[in-house]
Structure 1
Amino acid sequence: MKNYDAVVFDMDGVIFDSERAIMECWIEQAEKMGMEFMEEHFHACIGVNLQKTREIMLKAYGEDFPFDEFDKQASALFHAKYDGGRLPIKSGVREILDYLKSSNKKIALATSTKKTSVIRRLSEAGLLEYFDEIVTGDMVTHSKPHPEIYLFACEKIGVKPEDAYAIEDSYNGIRSATSGGLRTIMVPDILPANDEMHELAETILNDLNEVIEYLDKM
């Protein structure tokens, strides 16, 4: 099997166990505002940037839905609970980052989250130094599932997309990386792998420790 030069990670649901944390804050804020079916609509927003999230929510709840206020209050709940390094890290994160560094592979991040939040979370977790480049949702024009963010990440680390792996948990992330020409590994988080994901991803694994074993065979 062809070798690889780099791995590009998604962040929420891959590096941090944050998808559930964010969802819980959304549901809590929705209950305060008397809104129903928030979990269902949250699932549709997994893997996309803030602009796309706004579009999804306005479509779901109407054009008069006060999305910015909702987002502000839900974010405040999240920061109160998880800032200061309290956000859980997914199993195998440090191990796979150490493995890739020792193997002289480039490491990048391609996340729909805005840059200020990304830098803060990675810094608080002591993970920032592992990444050669970081591309965030506010650095690109198009949200996942468009491939722009993955193509930009590969450009910044100087590798061809076909020579890089992407590690993703979301449907939109797998669509984004695959359409960009990267080899994709899905490690499901909230959303289980469906038929489309089995077709798009090179492999689907349970956790990052299994990813190490898989990459070690390259």
Structure 2
Amino acid sequence: MSEHMPVAFAPAAVLFDMDGLMIESERALLQCWRQASQRLGLALDDELWLSFVGLPDRTCVELLRARLPEPQVQALLQHCHARYDVQVEAGLPLKPGVLELLALLAQRGLPRAVVTSTRRERALQKLQRCGLLAHFDTVVTGSDVVHAKPAPDIYLLAAQRLGVAPSQCVVLEDSVPGVRAALAAGMTPIQVPDLVMPDAAVRALGHRIVDSLLQARALLEPALTTGPC
């Protein structure tokens, strides 16, 4: 399948990842990790921080514990989160095209969900501060499932909450774990990569890949009707 093939069915719902897809948060968090590790004198590079993209907090902590003793892990988390809290509270920038796409979906009467690995309290804080929360029918977070992305559980729960079949859901994702989760749930993902570009193995999954939410809208809009098929 072409990476730029329009969606061929009228979706019953559109599910959105949050960080790196709707909110320009991954770069801010990357910088917080860098600054925190430098302050503590830790020799950690961007490869580690980029490996966190799309993963739940608990998995990121385990990756840190594989490299650092527990006191350093806790100090790093404290410094990073303190810096990031300030930015989240101020309201992080939105990705270009997200509000226009949400307005279009609302106009067409399509249910919308946020599906994020972020813990619930933090996810709701981000969505509220960025002015996105009111645009969605439900928010499903990493706090709501046992098995995080790339397991399909979080997307299946979103479909259940919206009362739609997984096969009739289009998913917008930036991360590889998110794309794999959507595919495992039997959904149709459109990937909008942010910090981590898809390699050959990811492209071999055969899903749609675009450069922006504006391009994602172009693939989705021809399939939109006043309601699902």
Which residue is equivalent to 2:50? Answer: 43
Shift of 1:63: 4.8
Q: Which of 136, 140, 161 is the aligned partner of 1:156?
A: 161
1:17-74 CA-to-partner distances (Å, cap 9, x unmatched) read 1001001000100011111233111111111111111111112x14535323322221
Instruction: Please report the TM-score for the alignment, with normalisation by the length of structure 2.
Output: 0.89
Contact 1:30 1:38 in 2 (8 A): no
Q: Distance in 2 between matches of 1:65 and 1:103?
A: 52
Match of 2:83 in 1: 77
Spell out, residue by residue over 1:160-197, the C-alpha distance to the aligned partner (whole angstroms, 9 max, x if none): 11100111111111111111111010001001121232
2:65 aligned residue: 58
* Residue correspondence of structure 1 range 135-214 to structure 2 within 5 A: 135-214=140-219
> Would you identify which runs of 4 or more consecutive aligned residues in structure 1 move more than 3 Å?
62-66
Closer, same or farther: CA 144–200 of 1 in aligned 2, 3 Å? same
Partner of 1:116: 121
Post-superposition offset of 1:82: 4.0
Bigger drift between 20-29 and 139-148 goes to: 139-148
- Specify which structure has the bigger relative contact order, considering alpha-carbon pairs within 8 angstroms and separated by 6 or more residues: 2
User: Does the CA-based 8 Å contact 1:174-1:200 persist in structure 2?
Assistant: no
- Cα 1:20/1:201, change in 2 over 3 Å: farther
C-alpha displacement at 1:88, in angstroms?
0.9
Contact 1:144-1:173 within 8 A present in 2 as well: yes
Tell me the C-alpha RMSD between the 2 structures. Answer: 1.4
Aligned AA for 1:45? F
TM-score by length of 1: 0.94
Report what 1:14 is aligned to.
21
